[in-house]
Structure formats: C-alpha cells, structure tokens
Amino acid sequence: MAEVAAPQGPVATGETLLSVRDLGKTFDVSAPFLNRVLQGQPRVHLTAVDDVSFDIPRGSTFSLVGESGCGKSTVARLVVGLYRPSQGRVEFEGTDLARIQTRRQMAPLRRKWAMIFQDPYASLNPRWRVADIVAEPIRYHGLLSGGQAIRTRVGELLELVGLSALDGEKYPHEFSGGQRQRISIARALASEPDFIVCDEPTSALDVSVQAQILNLMKRLQRELGLTYLFISHDLAVVYHISDYVGVMYLGRLVEWSDARLLFSNPRHPYTRMLLDAIPDLEMSGRARTPVGGEVPSPIAPPAGCHFNPRCPFADERCRSETPMALKVGVGEVRCHAVEEGRLPEPESA
Amino acid sequence: MSVVSSLPGRRGADMLRRAWDSDIAYSFRQSKVTMVAAAVTLVYFVFALFAPWIAPHDPYDLSSVSLMDSFMPPVWEEGGDPRFLLGSDDQGRGILSTIIYGSRISLAVGFASVIFAAVLGVTLGLIAGYAGGAVDAFIMRVAEVQLSFPAILIALLIDGVARGVLGNEAQGDIAYFVIILSIGLSFWVQYARTVRGSCMVEKNKEYVQAARVIGVRPALVVFRHVLPNVLGPVLVIATITLALAIITEATLSFLGVGVPPTSPSLGTMIRIGNDFLFSGEWWITIFPGVALAVLVLAVNLLGDWLRDALNPKLR
C-alpha cells in the first residue's frame, strides 16, 4: 500500500471534541404483540448502526456519506441524544453521555450542541413566529433574561445568517426553502454551541441555494470556530465542506480518512464505487464501473463483510469474517482486501 | 404560543384585514347556507345570553307563574293570551319564555360537556400518541370498548350511578354537573382517536425533534409543539359534537334523568308536552321540538362547513 501523506488543511487544533466508540443501535421492528402471538411471528431486530468509531477534532468538519438507509442519520441522532445507544458510547469533550442520568445534568451539555435538519419545511414549527423559534434554545436554557435582550439577540442571529431582524415577526410559511434553512441555522446558533450536527441540510434545496447555505456554514465555522458533523449522500457537497469523510455501508463505517485523501486515494471498494458514480466533466465519455446490485436488507445483512455480494474483490474470507478496522494513515478502513494488499490501485489516483 | 409580545397596535387592523381575506372567511362568504346557519346560531346565543331581558317572563321564578294561566293556546288560536305568544304549559309557564331559558340550558350544558370531552379526549389522545407502546394500547382499548356502547347508554349509566351514590336530595344542586360529566365522558373517544393519529404524525416531524435536541421536557414538547398543530380537527369535532351533546341533553331530560324539572330545558318541555299531545295541547311539545331541531340543524351545518373549509383536499 502506498504511504499516506500527513493530514493537511483542517484548521483542527488537535483536541478531540467528539469521540464515538463502538457505537451501535438496534431497533425492534417486530410486528405488534398480538400478531406475534397469533401468527407465530418472531421478534425482528434491525441493526441500524453497528460498531461505529470515529473522532472529530475541534474546529473541523466530519462528514458521513452513504446510500439511503445506511445508518448515517441514526448516528447523527445518537450523537445528539435523540436515541439511546444500544452499545458503545459517545463522549463529548471527554464526558461519556450515557453516564449522565438526569435532565438537569444534561442541560449544560445540551447547549453546547445543536442540530440542523434535512427538511426545512418540517423542521420549523408552523404555528410559531420565527423569533420564537430562534429564541427557544435561549429561553429554554435561560441564557438571557428579559424580552428586550432576547429580541436583540434574535435580531443579531437572523442578521448573522443573512436575514433581516424584522423577519422574526413572520411565520415560517412566509419563507422559501433556503431562507428556512437559514432560520434553522440561526436557531442552531442561538445557544452558542461548539458543535453542530447537520443532517443533510442541503439535500432539500436547489443547487444554487445549496451553495449559498454551504458557504454560510463555512463562514460561520471560520468566524465562530464551530465543529460540524455533516451527514450527506451528496459527494460533491461533502467534498466542498469536509475535513474528514467517513463512508457508511449498512450500519458500518467502512472507511474514514482525511477528505482530500479519501477523494484522491479511496481504499475501500465501496468508496471507489461511490466516487466513480459522481458525474464529472473530465470523466465524460469514459466508461465507468456502475455501482452494481441492490443494498441488502438491513434486517438480514450478508455475513462477513456486508459489502461482499456487490464487491468485485470479494473472496471466501469476505463472505464469512467481519473485517476489523485497519489503521491507514489518519483514517481507518474495514476491508480484508486492503489488509491483505490484494486490491489494485485505483485508476483515478 | 406567541411568547414574544412585541405586537404593536397597528397589527390589530392588519389582522382583521387578513382574517377577512383568509381562505376560511372566503369560503364562509361563498356559502349562503352557512351564513344562515351562523345567523340562526347567533340568534340562539343572544337569546341564551340575554334571556332575562328578552323573555317575556321568568319561567323559573315560581312567584311569577300562576296555575291559572296553564294550557293557554298560542296567541293566534282561539282563547290565546297576548302574554303568552306561543301559549303556556301545564304549570302556566309561557312556552316562548321557557324555550328562551331552555335553550340557555341546552347551550350551556352542550358547551360545558363539549369542553370537558375535548380537554379529556385531547389530553388522553396526546398521551397515547406521544408515549406509544403499552400506554397507547391501554388508552385505545378503553376507548374502543366505550365506542361499542351508544353514547346515550353511557350517559344514562353514569347519570344512574351518580344518582345512586349521591342520593336524590343532592340531585338538584349537582344535576347539571352530573349531566355535563356524563355527556362529556361519552364523547371523549372521538377526540382521543383523532388527536392520537395527528400526534403520531407530528411527533416524528423534525421540529419536534429539534425541541428534543435542546432537551425540552416531553410534557412541554407535547404542550407547546404538538398541541397547536393538532387543534384543527379538534375544532371540527367540537362543533359537530356540540349538536350531539345538545341532543343528548334533550334526550336525557326527555327520559327524566336530565336537568331538574323546576328549570325545564328543551328536552324536559318536550317530555311534559308529550303527556298532553293527545288531549289537544300540541303547542307544549311542538314549539320546543322545532326550536331544538333548528338549533341542532344550524350547529350541524356550521360543523359540516368547518370540516370542509379546513380540509385542504377540498379547497
């Protein structure tokens, strides 16, 4: 295997802000109790996230990519505490979140992170004025007291994301998708968080608006020193914004690395297939390997490496033994072929 | 749920303007039937609210009632008395006055029981929908069991139990509460089922998750985020069950288990009149019957219109 260059680019200070270790989440998707008893159906479990580990240095952007249903949104929800992990742990600034029992102890941590959602039409309460939506974190955490102070702060936040302070009086339905996403960002910034989880924040937007929102997010990161966990299935967007990229497949993190390295020198066969599928002017006319096959059902994933039915390099070992994470440069790869060094060098290196 | 109270005065006229231009107001102006129904309902409301000033005399005040005036026919019939426009009943109470006072009781009991049923049903529906699992299953099974009994049967049952427990002496004072309770308890299921359904949709929306990310307590999430977004259908059910509640109250009173006979409601009057229908005193039962039918029809038409106006698929 080729040697890997030292990480470049990230403005990270080296300190780890968020650390995810062996994270797993299983959902019970069984039929209702009566159906199970009457029709003799067994309990059915879906493993949405399986043994995922990664670190995010302060001030950097870590992206998770993958096909629909690969568990990337579940990771996002686990990280912000919307779901409880079935196994593993999430550490934020060195604190294990699972050890925190009460809501009161959790509150000072909760104001340090925020989440931006995918659908700007569903993520703002349609019955609330924008000012109330943006002010909710401020009020809930008791960061400011007095109506005037909160109003001023909300105005500042709205102007920070490129809206007018007067927009606070309006209702969400009076705004376009891009403007709504700006409101979501303003709300996310309201508690002055260090860490923002972005669950496909641009995939519901027009391409031109996507670029505006991404540039806004990058500018805010520079100015406020934010750390992002960025969930997306759009590799072009990910390339634009990320310092690190992790690739997920059927609940497992198959590869993560420095963003430039991952795009220039992908290791895992799945990552190569994904990158091959990006439409690209330079590549037009050239034959490309299509991503073959369907994603298997996450309820009954294939044994061994989950990717083996679609992988051109799969052998007997891949079909029986789950690959372990292998340290490669800054990142990690889970692939027997990479470990054994029997993978050909990618064409577009 | 406007917590920001920065509404300058200029908003008042603004909001009136917008209310007039809104879809609902437009659909109201387009429907003549609805406007008539609204006018009729409004007349009943005014009569009910200002009964002491509108009614020719107070039929509940025993000192103003004389047995000498009993069984007077309506004023246009032979032997009619101008003091009793629509005639009088067996106690000498004017039918018109009793209708005005009676619709006051009908509306008050109807509203109170609808509010009671709505609060109970919406609360249980929200709990069931948001909590899910065993709590949801329990509440919904109770609701389904209750749904398999006719509402009037449940009302009769609760009324009977309350009377048995409290005895007949206390009946006069608490009769109203018992009847409101029994009607309310027999109508909560529809609210609970509707709200549960909407709640299950809303709780998975991202704005609810956004509130949970901040750490807002579940009770507050439900109250401040979910509740305002499930109230639309509740309003429609409330209007339709208002008509049902008025009929149920009349039915209970007709069966003699409703409001005390000293303060007759429309249902009581119909029952009293029923005894004299075959002896020729038709007005005692017919006029309250017509008044009840018109009120229920008007409220029902309003409810139907509201249901259609709020249904986005019919716009």
| pLDDT for A8 beyond 50 | no
The mean pLDDT of A153-171, rounded to a whole number, is 91
Q: CB A132 to CB B4 under 8 A?
A: yes
3 state DSSP class of A57: strand
- Two tokens at B252? 């209970």
Comparing alpha-carbon positions, the chain B residue that sits nearest to A103 is B215
Reported as a single tens digit per residue, the pLDDT across B61-113 is 777 777 777 777 777 777 777 777 777 777 777 888 888 888 888 888 899 99
Q: How does residue B268 score in pLDDT terms, banded at 50, 70 and 90?
A: confident
Question: Phi, psi at residue A336, to the nearest 5°?
Answer: -65, -35
Confidence class of residue B200 from pLDDT cuts 50, 70 and 90? very high
**pLDDT reading at A154 higher than 90:** yes
pLDDT given at position B1: 41
- Mean pLDDT lowest among A56-65, A321-330, B11-20, B27-36: B11-20
Its pTM stands at 0.79
Query: How many Å apart are CA A258 and CA B235, to the nearest integer?
Result: 55
- Say if residue B237's pLDDT is above 80: yes
Can you read off the two tokens belonging to residue B47? Answer: 């009569």
A 113-132 residues inside an 8 A Cβ radius of B: 113-115, 117-119, 122-129, 131-132
| Residue-wise burial string across A72-96, b where 16 or more C-beta atoms lie within 10 A, e elsewhere | bbbbbbbbbbbbebbebebbbeeee
Q: Which domain holds residue B68?
A: 31-314
Answer yes or no: is pLDDT of B204 > 90. Answer: no
Look at A140-154, B87-101, B291-305 and tell me which has the smallest mean pLDDT. Answer: B87-101
A135 touches chain B (CB under 8 A): yes
B96 located within any domain = yes
Q: Is position B175 within any domain?
A: yes
Q: Is residue B301 part of a domain?
A: yes
Q: Is A281 helix (H, G, I), strand (E, B) or coil?
A: coil
Residue A245 confidence (pLDDT): 93
User: Residue B148 is encoded by which pair of tokens?
Assistant: 């398999």
Q: Is residue B44 part of a domain?
A: yes
Tokens of B17: 């303007």
pLDDT at A340 over 90: no
Q: Say yes or no for a CB contact (<8 Å) between A110 and B215.
A: yes
CB nearest A82 (choices: B5, B212, B216): B212
User: Tell me, what's the pLDDT at A243?
Assistant: 92
Q: Is the pLDDT of residue A303 over 80?
A: yes
Q: Which of A294 and A64 is assigned the larger pLDDT?
A: A64
Asked whether A117 and A164 are in contact (CB, 8 A), the reply is no
Question: Residue A155: pLDDT above 70?
Answer: yes
Whole-angstrom Cα distance, residue B310 to residue B303? 11
Is the confidence at residue A348, as pLDDT, over 70? no
Q: Which two tokens stand for residue B174?
A: 């608490």
CB of B226 closer than 8 Å to CB of B199? yes
Cβ-nearest to A82 among B4, B209, B216: B209
Contact A117 B211 (CB under 8 A): no
How many domains does chain B contain in total?
1
ipTM for the predicted complex comes to: 0.82
User: Chain centroid to CA B56: how far?
Assistant: 26
pLDDT tens for B107-160 read 888 999 999 999 999 999 999 999 988 899 999 999 999 888 887 888 788 878
pLDDT above 50 (res A236):
yes
Tell whether the torsion through CA atoms of A84, A85, A87 and A88 is positive or negative: negative
Determine the distance in angstroms separating the CA of B133 from the nearest CA of chain A, rounded to an integer.
10
* Rounded Cα distance, A262 and A285, in Å: 24
Residue B255's pLDDT is 82
What is the CB-side half-sphere exposure of residue B242 using CA atoms within 13 A? 21
Q: What is the CA radius of gyration of chain A?
A: 22
Q: Does B135 touch chain A (CB under 8 A)?
A: no
Check whether A212 has a pLDDT greater than 60.
yes
Chain B CB contacts of A147 below 8 Å: 4-6
Q: Is B88 helix (H, G, I), strand (E, B) or coil?
A: strand
CA distance A61 to A17: 11
Q: Give, as one character, the DSSP assignment of residue B10.
A: T
Alpha-carbon distance of A179 to B55, in angstroms, equals 59
Does any domain span residue B54? yes
Higher pLDDT, B54 or A45: A45
Residue A306 contacts residue A296 (beta carbons within 8 Å): yes
- Sheet with A113-116: strands ordered across: A113-116, A195-199, A227-231, A61-65, A244-249, A252-258, A331-333, A326-328
Residue, of B161 and B138, whose pLDDT is higher? B138
Residue B4, pLDDT score: 45
C-alpha dihedral (B200, A137, A125, A122), degrees to nearest 10? -70
Question: How many other C-beta atoms can be found within 10 angstroms of the C-beta atom of residue A197?
Answer: 27
d(CA A172, CA A180): 7
Give me the pLDDT at residue B2, please.
43
User: B80: helix, coil or strand?
Assistant: coil
Strand segments, DSSP code E, in chain A are 16-28, 45-57, 61-65, 87-92, 95-96, 113-116, 195-199, 227-231, 244-249, 252-258, 326-328, 331-333
Q: Is B211 on the interface with A (CB under 8 A)?
A: yes
B184 located within any domain: yes
pLDDT of residue A76: 92
Contacting residues of B for A78, CB less than 8 Å apart = none
* CA torsion, ordered B230, B231, B232, B233, to nearest 10 deg: 80
Name the strands in the sheet holding A16-28, side by side, starting at the edge strand that comes first in the sequence. A45-57, A16-28, A87-92, A95-96
> Is residue B1 included in any domain, yes or no?
no
Q: Residue B313's pLDDT is what?
A: 59
Percent of chain B with pLDDT over 90: 20
Question: If you ran DSSP here, which 8-state letter would residue A330 be given?
Answer: T
User: What CATH number should be reported for the domain holding residue B256?
Assistant: 1.10.3720.10
Q: Tell me the domains of chain A and their CATH numbers.
A: 16-112+193-281+288-340 (3.40.50.300)
Nearest-5° Cα angle at A310, A304 to A314: 55
- What pLDDT sits at residue A349? 40
> Which residues 229-288 of B have a C-beta within 8 angstroms of A?
229
Please give the Cα distance from B92 to B87 (Å, whole number). 9
Least confident of A5-19, A222-236, A333-347, B139-153: A5-19
Closest Cα to residue A240, out of A268, A266, A209, A263?
A: A263
pLDDT above 60 (res A327)? yes
Residue B168 has pLDDT above 70, yes or no: no
A229 pLDDT more than 50: yes
In contact, B300 and B105? CB cutoff 8 Å: no
Digit-coded pLDDT (tens) for A240-291:
889 999 999 998 999 999 988 888 888 888 888 888 877 766 656 656 666 6
Least confident of A242-251, B212-221, B263-272: B263-272
| Out of A119, A127, A140, closest to residue B206 by CB | A119
Q: Summarize chain B as % helix, strand, coil (round to 5).
A: 75, 0, 25
Confidence of residue A182 (pLDDT cuts 50, 70, 90): very high
Contacts of A76 in chain B (CB under 8 A): none
Could you give the percent of chain A with pLDDT greater than 70?
A: 91
The answer to whether A303 and A319 have CB atoms below 8 angstroms apart is yes
Q: Is the pLDDT of residue B284 over 70?
A: yes
CA distance B240 to B252: 19
Cα A268 to its chain centre, rounded Å, is 19
Q: What is the pLDDT of residues A70-87, one digit of tens each?
A: 888 899 999 988 888 998
Would residue B104 count as lying in a domain? Answer: yes
Q: Alpha-carbon distance A107 to A94, whole Å?
A: 16
Is a pLDDT exceeding 60 seen at residue A141? yes
- Which tens digits make up the pLDDT trace of B27-66? 888 888 889 999 999 998 898 888 888 777 777 777 777 7
Better-predicted residue by pLDDT, A279 or A134: A134
Question: Are the CB atoms for A130 and A170 separated by under 8 Å?
Answer: yes
Number of H helices, E strands in chain A: 12, 12
Compute CA distances B255 → A108, B86, B91, B274, whole Å: 62, 24, 19, 11
Is the pLDDT reported for residue A66 higher than 90? no
